[in-house]
Amino acid sequence: MSLSDQDVIRFSRHIILPEVGGRGQKRLKEASVLVAGLGASGSAAALYLAAAGVGGLTLWDPGVVTPQDLQGAIAHDWSRIGLPRARSAAVPLRAIYPENRMDVLEREADLLGDLPAHNVVVLSAGNWAELGPAAVRGGASAVFCGAHGADGAVTVVTPGSPCLGCLGAEQASLLGLFPDHGGIAAAAGVVGVMAATEAIKLILGVGTPLAGRVMRYNGWDCRFEEASFGAREGCACWHG
């Protein structure tokens, strides 16, 4: 798959970077990323991934767009209240990058079988304990992000890295399987944008992925805290 003349103009601010170049932009165009969850953080991640020229995006979310979503799930608008969130989010994403090969999954059962077709899965919803290991077994990397209040957290699991099951209780609570309660969506957007950045780095093969680390964002105090974790003996990912 080659870059079109329009791609070369459009992504010139990527292409001039030594970390990306034409080869990296082509990688982004050829890549497929699955975004599970199109709330505040998933919307932010998906919009940035489309804008970055990720050529294949698969969207999944079990919910429909509600008025409350419009406080921060920025892929939706009033005209799409009541539509499935994944279908709603596909509208602006297609408008941002019309060449995107976009796919919308309606059922959670479809997710598992579809995971191996992706380079990266960005999970802000769904059954993490099931989806994360399945993605990594299929050779994909998984980026997890969650937010609640004005706090959020992100971590990455790649094939061979410590997995979510390796997290201690305290670290797991840092990442949190945050309940869908109140939240400052702009703070959730911070972790969504971090998740998109991790996905882009993983596709390009540059930088240091956030694997074996949880990065927590405390929006009320504007602080980032990092906690490292290693493979836990006895965990399903443990290789001795």
CA distance 63 to 168: 30
Please give the angle made by the CA atoms of 127, 110 and 92, to the nearest 5 degrees.
90
Those residues whose C-beta lies under 8 Å from the C-beta of residue 12, and which sit 6 or more positions away, are none
Stretch that binds Zn ion, among 28-36, 54-62, 162-170, 210-218 (CB under 5 A): 162-170
Q: Closer to Zn ion at the Cβ: 165 or 176?
A: 165
Q: Which residues, at least 6 apart from 233, have a Cβ–Cβ distance to it below 8 Å?
A: none
Closest CB 194 distance from Zn ion, rounded Å: 22
* Cα dihedral: 96, 99, 101, 105 (round 10): 30
Binders of Zn ion among residues 163 to 182 (CB under 5 A) are 163, 165-166
Q: How many residues bind Zn ion (CB under 5 A)?
A: 5
Closest CA to 125 of 70, 195, 68: 195
> H-helix or E-strand containing 113?
helix 108-114
Q: Residue 166 or residue 204: which is nearer to Zn ion going by CB? A: 166
Q: 38 vs 237, which CB is nearer to Zn ion?
A: 237
Select 110 or 130, whichever has its Cβ closest to Zn ion: 130
| 40 near Zn ion, rule: CB under 5 A | no
Question: At its nearest, how many Å lie between Zn ion and the CB of residue 133?
Answer: 9
Residue from 44, 57, 74, 237 that binds Zn ion (CB under 5 A)? 237
Contact status: 157 vs Zn ion (CB under 5 A): no
